[in-house]
């Protein structure tokens, strides 16, 4: 059984795959407590993989996004294999502190201050920019294909744009779902 906070169909709002239709599986609970966290993820229902796959199969898209809370606390090779058997493309939103199943198709790592990284492969780094003084340059040393900075709760977008213009290795990730009021 795995503890699920919510499961919904929407568009990936953030990062490289922005705009792509996806089923979001939000797992309950996290091993970090970021003061800026925008998600109430603690509550949840225990589900069998059978129930989970049935819920996922109800939607026509290929992409499934594992998120939370911290999905790394709940997932394993078996779940990824089962999603692949349904023909799904498996992406994850993770804080990077957990060792992940290697077969995941796309790893979005959003490293957090004080969270020791244990991920072996990263496709995109997506850092929440909380303000001047935050050390984000060190995250450019992580081996990844893309490096995004994301404003905190859409509140400091101008500041992030100015930072990126001065440090053009970064790209802007907006939480577009919040701007267009979809889940």
Ligand X SMILES: C[S@@+](CC[C@H](N)C(=O)[O-])C[C@H]1O[C@@H](n2cnc3c(N)ncnc32)[C@H](O)[C@@H]1O
The H or E element containing residue 72 is none
Binding-residue total with ligand SF4 (CB under 6 A): 12
What would the x/- binding string for ligand SF4 be over residues 105 to 124, using CB under 6 A?
A: -------x------------
**Termini Cα distance of the chain:** 25
- Phi-psi domain of 177 (left: phi exceeds 0; alpha: psi -120 through 50; beta: other): alpha
CA distance 70 to 93: 8
Q: Is the CB of 39 or the CB of 48 nearer to ligand SF4?
A: 39
Answer with the entry of ligand SF4, ligand X, ligand 2KA, none that 33 interacts with (C-beta below 5 to 8 A by kind). ligand SF4
Q: Are 108 and 93 in contact (CB under 8 A)?
A: yes
* Given 6, 16, 20, 34, the catalytic residue: 34
Q: Which of residues 159-178 bind ligand 2KA (CB under 6 A)?
A: 177
Q: Is the CB of 12 or the CB of 88 nearer to ligand X?
A: 12
Closest approach of ligand 2KA to the CB of residue 10, in Å: 4
Residue 39 annotated in active site: yes
Closest by CA to 113, choosing from 83, 143, 137, 134, is 134
Which residues form the catalytic set?
A: 24, 30, 34, 37-39, 93, 177
């Amino acid at each position: 059984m795995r503890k699920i906070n919510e499961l919904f169909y929407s568009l990936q709002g953030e990062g490289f795959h922005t705009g792509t239709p996806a089923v979001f599986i939000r797992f309950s609970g996290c091993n970090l407590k970021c003061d800026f966290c925008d998600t109430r993820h603690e509550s949840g229902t225990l589900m069998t993989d059978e129930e989970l796959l049935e819920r996922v199969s109800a939607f026509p898209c290929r992409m499934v996004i594992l998120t939370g809370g911290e999905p790394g606390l709940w997932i394993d090779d078996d779940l990824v294999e089962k999603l692949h058997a349904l023909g799904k493309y498996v992406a994850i939103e993770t804080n990077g502190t957990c060792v992940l199943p290697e077969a995941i198709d796309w790893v979005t790592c959003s490293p957090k201050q004080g969270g020791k990284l244990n991920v072996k492969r990263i496709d995109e780094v997506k850092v929440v920019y909380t303000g001047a003084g935050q050390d984000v340059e060190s995250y450019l040393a992580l081996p990844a294909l893309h490096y995004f900075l994301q404003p905190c709760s859409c509140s400091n977008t101008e500041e992030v744009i100015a930072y990126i213009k001065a440090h053009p290795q970064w790209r802007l990730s907006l939480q577009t779902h919040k701007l267009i009021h979809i889940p």
